[in-house]
Structures are given as structure tokens and as C-alpha cells.
Amino acid sequence: MKKQTKAIRTQAKRTAYNEHAVPLYLTSSYVFDDAEDMRAQFAEEKEGEIYSRYANPNVQEFIDKMAMLEGAESGWATASGMSAVFTFFGALLKSGDHIVSARSVFGSTHRLFTEILPKWGIATTYVDVDNYDGFESAITENTKILYLETPSNPGLDIIDLERVAEITRRKNVIFAVDNCFATPIIQRPLEFGADVSIHSATKYIDGQGRTLGGIILSSQAIIEQVKAFARHTGPALSPFNAWVLSKSLETLEIRMERHSKQAFEIAQRLEGHTALTWIKYPLLKSHPQHEIAIKQMDMGGGIVSFELKGGLDAGRRFLDKLKLFSLTANLGDTRSIATHPASTTHSKLTPEQRAEVGIGEGLVRLSIGLEHVEDIWDDIAQALV
């Protein structure tokens, strides 16, 4: 069977009722058979559930499905995407360690690197997304992790995973990728040499704007370190949210196909529009990293980014004129969403920092939903006038 079929058919254990849909295991703890059973499970000599901060059948089902789709040995699920990012770094790093990161990262990740991790003596060096020699030269004897997003948020920069993986293998550095925009349906970083794939499951994995969630997928050895950290720091995914996310995976492939098809159509119609300075979509031949995108992505994804002439005022006018699009701090929903990163997701960066990663005052990020493509286009077209 193909991976998508296996992921749909992977389920947690049934109860005595032999239900078709997996039940919700809404419990904080579990009962042991006797004192020896309790001792053996705490000693990890025997498998079983102890406490839902440690493990839960609904959470494990979600992990198993995502690991199947990504081609990973194991995984660990968390309460949100950013808790997955922080848990990964918290588990693997100590004071004096060093991170190399692509400069184009999500705003909260940037603050983690520049404000939070330095409090514990962990430094980060940024490298431009297309500077592969820079990635290698930035690695020092203290570097433990090289981290990047591809496609990046919100500029849709594409980084060659195989090329970076070759560097990290030679330098003996862990290579981690935020795969949120692509999902494992479109891109599987581990197949191109990455060691870790991280997702905000809040986005396309859920796909309907209902829940928060995150997941780290990697080798058993790395996940054991993550597990040891997460069990005692508590960024646990709730059983209910895990149940929702697991069910959402059953429609992920068909949703990503529709998102990608419609986003590509919108990007093609927008290309060359007189109101825009530039437009980016991975499958447009005008994208600077188009050849890399078609090598490592099966589809283009659901995000379209462009820069409006007129800067901040033009960006705000465009959003205010939209009628169908939602103005909300999310993406990957069935409903189309418009965001102005300079005043929202990346507002804590200075203008100079935003300029370094290509976020202009007029940059707009569109998450193209599942409404009819003509209705989506009509709304964009009238807002650009």
C-alpha cells in the first residue's frame, strides 16, 4: 500500500465496542494491573500508558500517521507549532551551543533565536537563503543544529535540501527543516537528507482553523532526547486535538491538491499585474528558485506572496477592500486568508531586519483556500483596483 493509504488506515487500538472511528481517550492518567505492572512501566521495561503528559493513544495515532507520511522512524507531538520548535531546541542544546539558521524564518522563531535562547547561552548565526558557502562557513565547532524553512514564511524562499544536507553530513551537524508550508504530501525533507522535520499542525495538517498542534519527526535516537525533555517540561498535545488532527490527515492529500491547484491559478493571473512590484509562487518560472522547487516539491502549495506598489498604505488598502478573504493570524485553512506580515506576524522585527529577509512594507501573504477559484480571483481583482 502507498503511504497515504497506510496513514489513513493506521489507528489506535479499538475498545471492546469494536468501533470503526477511533474513540477519544480523554483521560489524564491510566490504571495499572498491580504494583509490579506499575513498577515495570515506570522503569520502561514494559510498554503502556502512564500519564497523558507522557503518552496517549490519540496522540500516538497522530504521531504514527505523520511519521508514516514523512518517512520518519519516530515523532513527538506538542501543543502548538512553536512549542514543537522550542521543544526541539530545548531538548538538544545546552549553554555554549550554536545554531546556524537561514535568515528567512517565522517571526516567533526569530525572537526565540534572538531573545530567548541567548538567555541560556545559545547563539544563532543567520545566513542568507541562497548563500550555501555561507551556511558552511558559519558552522563552528560549537554548532549543533542547522535550521531552515522551505518554503519560507512569508517570502516563499526555496532552499536546496540536498545541497544543505551534504554540508551538514560533512560537518556532523543536525539538519532540521520547518516543513509547515509544504506538508509531507508536497515535500518530505528526510528523503533529501534532513535529520528532522517540524510542523505547525495548526496550519494545513488541521486545515480548518480549529485546533493548535505541533510535531517533531526524526530518528528514534533524536526523538528519545526530545521525549526526555518534553515529558518533564510539559508541552503536551491534548488527546482531543490529536484526535482532530489525526482525522484531518485522512483528507490532507486531496486538500493540498486543491490548495495547490488554485494557488497556482491565482499566481499565474497575478503575474505581471500593474499593481505589483513582484510576485512569488514556487511553480512560477519567474520564481528565483523555481528549479529547486520542482526538484523537491510535488506541488506548489497554497501560499502566494506579492509586494504591492505603494508600500504600507497600499497593503492596508488592499486588505481593507477584501470581502471574501478572512483577515486572521493563520494560514492553511479551507477559507482564504490574507495577512500583512510587516504589521502582524513579523511586526516585532525592525524595518532593517524585515528588509534583510525581503519583507517589504507592501508585502501581502495570501493563503488560498478551497472556495471556488473564480470567487477567490474576483475578490483579489476588485481589491487591487
In the predicted model, what is the mean pLDDT of residues 60-86?
97
Give the least confident one: 5-19, 207-221, 240-254: 5-19
139 and 123 housed in the same domain: yes
In the predicted model, what is the mean pLDDT of residues 131-151?
98
CA-to-CA distance for 340 and 353, rounded, in angstroms?
Answer: 16
Mean pLDDT of the chain: 95
pLDDT for the residue numbered 352: 80
243 and 276 housed in the same domain: no
Residue whose C-alpha is closest to residue 345's, from 79, 54, 106: 106
The 10s digit of each residue's pLDDT in 239-298 is: 999 999 999 999 999 999 999 999 999 999 999 999 999 999 999 999 999 999 999 999
Please give the grid coordinates belonging to residue 366. Answer: 495570501
229 and 289 housed in the same domain: no
pLDDT for the residue numbered 3: 84
The torsion angles phi and psi of 205, rounded to 5 degrees, stand at: -60, -50
Give SS3 for 38.
helix
271 and 380 housed in the same domain: yes
pLDDT for the residue numbered 135: 98
**pLDDT band with cut points at 50, 70 and 90 for residue 16:** confident
Give SS3 for 185.
helix
Domain that holds residue 50: 3-251
- Residue 375 scores a pLDDT above 90: yes
CA-to-CA distance for 347 and 38, rounded, in angstroms?
Answer: 50
In the predicted model, what is the mean pLDDT of residues 133-147?
98
104 and 88 housed in the same domain: yes
CA-to-CA distance for 163 and 200, rounded, in angstroms?
Answer: 25
CA-to-CA distance for 226 and 218, rounded, in angstroms?
Answer: 10
98 and 230 housed in the same domain: yes
In the predicted model, what is the mean pLDDT of residues 3-15?
85
208 and 256 housed in the same domain: no
266 and 346 housed in the same domain: yes
Please give the grid coordinates belonging to residue 149. Answer: 524553512
DSSP character string of 54-102: T--HHHHHHHHHHHHHHT-SEEEEESSHHHHHHHHHHHH--TT-EEEEE
Count helices and strands in the chain by DSSP H and E runs: 15, 12
CA-to-CA distance for 15 and 292, rounded, in angstroms?
Answer: 47
354 or 215, which is more confident?
215
CATH assignment of the domain containing 111 = 3.40.640.10
pLDDT for the residue numbered 12: 86
Which of 251, 281, 301 is at the close of a domain?
251
84 and 37 housed in the same domain: yes
- Residue 357 scores a pLDDT above 80: no
Which of 251, 277, 306 is at the close of a domain?
251
pLDDT for the residue numbered 14: 79
245 and 116 housed in the same domain: yes
Number of domains comprising the chain = 2
In the predicted model, what is the mean pLDDT of residues 161-175?
98
CATH assignment of the domain containing 317 = 3.90.1150.10
99 and 169 housed in the same domain: yes
- Residue 126 scores a pLDDT above 80: yes
Beta-strand (E) ranges in the chain? 74-78, 98-102, 123-127, 143-149, 174-178, 196-200, 214-218, 276-280, 303-308, 326-327, 337-339, 363-367
CA-to-CA distance for 70 and 51, rounded, in angstroms?
Answer: 27
Which of 251, 284, 312 is at the close of a domain?
251
178 and 306 housed in the same domain: no
